[in-house]
Amino acid sequence: MATQKTYVYVDKIDVSKIFDSKYKGKVQDMARKLASKWVDKSKELTTRGDKKQNGFMLGGTISKLLKGDKGGKTLLAAEMSMHMSTWPKKSMFGFPSGKAAVEVLNEAKIERDIEDLLDSLIESLVLKKANKEFEKRAKDLAKSK
């Protein structure tokens, strides 16, 4: 019999400072979808399920998403902090953070570079930090049922 996966609610990802406000809504949606994608890579966690069940919540803030020139190249750089909590009680316990940068390959297709940057940053935060902590705590959650 397959083991039931633990539910993770992925909350809205806020954006504080961005190089162009026209991308803010797209970046928020993109970041939430990417966080969900990386949570779902776990064999023990899922973002699909009953929101009423006990599990975890993952949210965060992209504090900076900036564009600038360095050495004749245009770069995108992002800084992000995430928050982890129990669900639905929202008792916080973890705050992974990180930063990343990529070169803008084509100004006309900058959204693709934004997505690559966020995908890399969120992958490192979710796979290497959040999922590991959620999986560890899920074992305790299962014992308390």
Q: Provide the residue range defining the domain that includes 87.
A: 6-136
Taking 90 as the threshold, does the pLDDT of residue 145 lie above it? no
Residue 144 within a domain: no
Residue 67 within a domain: yes
Residue 145 within a domain: no
Quick check: helix, strand or coil at residue 82? strand
The per-residue pLDDT for range 20-31, each reduced to its tens digit, is 999 999 999 999
Taking 80 as the threshold, does the pLDDT of residue 2 lie above it? no
Residue 142 within a domain: no
The per-residue pLDDT for range 83-102, each reduced to its tens digit, is 999 999 999 999 999 999 99
- In this prediction the pTM is 0.92
Residue 82 within a domain: yes
Domain containing residue 88: CATH number:
3.40.50.10610
Q: Token match 């069940």: residue?
A: 53
Backbone dihedral angles phi then psi of residue 55, each to the nearest 5 degrees:
-175, -130
Residue 16 within a domain: yes
Domain count along the chain: 1
Angle made by CA atoms 8, 14, 16, in degrees to the nearest 5 = 155
Q: What confidence score (pLDDT) does residue 141 get?
A: 74
Residue 41 within a domain: yes
Residue 13 within a domain: yes
